[in-house]
């Protein structure tokens, strides 16, 4: 992936995850906005995962201070660096802190073979 494309898709991926983190899903209007962010983030993730540089960029975001960024990045990373992502998710799941339940569910679904991160988002 050329550096400009890597930067572009990284910026989109991070911006959408940060936007998702700022939303509460308590209302239908917010869930519709959440889904729009998820679809844009997914488009970026699909592009980033095509290259070693893109996968490394997502993997590095597991260390991000924003829980939504770290958790989603770890979930994506399971598919190319399972052991690294698994350690992160297991630690988070056992922490009883923010994101612990979500980390437990990601691992449960991955272990059962039901977690898919290669789905195509709806058209715009």
| pLDDT tens digits for range 50-82 | 999 999 999 999 999 999 999 999 999 999 999
Alpha-carbon distance 12 to 55, whole Å? Answer: 15
Encode 96-120: b = buried (16+ Cβ within 10 Å), e = exposed: eeebbebbeebbeebeeeeeebeee
pLDDT of residue 32: 80
pLDDT of residue 72: 97
Q: Where are the domains of the chain?
A: 3-111
Domain 3-111 is found in CATH 1.10.357: no
Query: pTM for the whole thing?
Result: 0.92
**Contact partners, residue 96, CB within 8 Å, separation at least 6:** none
| pLDDT tens digits for range 22-51 | 886 655 566 788 889 999 999 999 999 999
pLDDT band at 122 (very low <50, low <70, confident <90, very high): confident
Alpha-carbon distance 108 to 115, whole Å? Answer: 9
Tokens 């960024």 identify what position?
A: 69
Name the 3-class secondary structure at 28: helix
């Amino acid at each position: 992936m050329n550096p400009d494309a890597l930067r572009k898709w990284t910026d989109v991926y991070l911006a959408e995850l940060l936007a998702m983190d700022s939303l509460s899903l308590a209302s239908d209007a917010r869930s519709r906005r959440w889904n729009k962010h998820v679809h844009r983030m997914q488009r970026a993730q699909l592009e980033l995962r095509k290259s070693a540089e893109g996968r490394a960029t997502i993997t590095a975001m597991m260390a991000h201070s924003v829980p939504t960024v770290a958790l989603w990045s770890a979930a994506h990373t399971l598919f190319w660096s399972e052991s690294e992502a698994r350690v992160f998710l297991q630690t988070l799941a056992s922490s009883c802190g923010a994101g612990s339940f979500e980390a437990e569910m990601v691992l449960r679904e991955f272990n059962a073979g039901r977690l898919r991160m290669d789905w195509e988002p709806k058209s715009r």
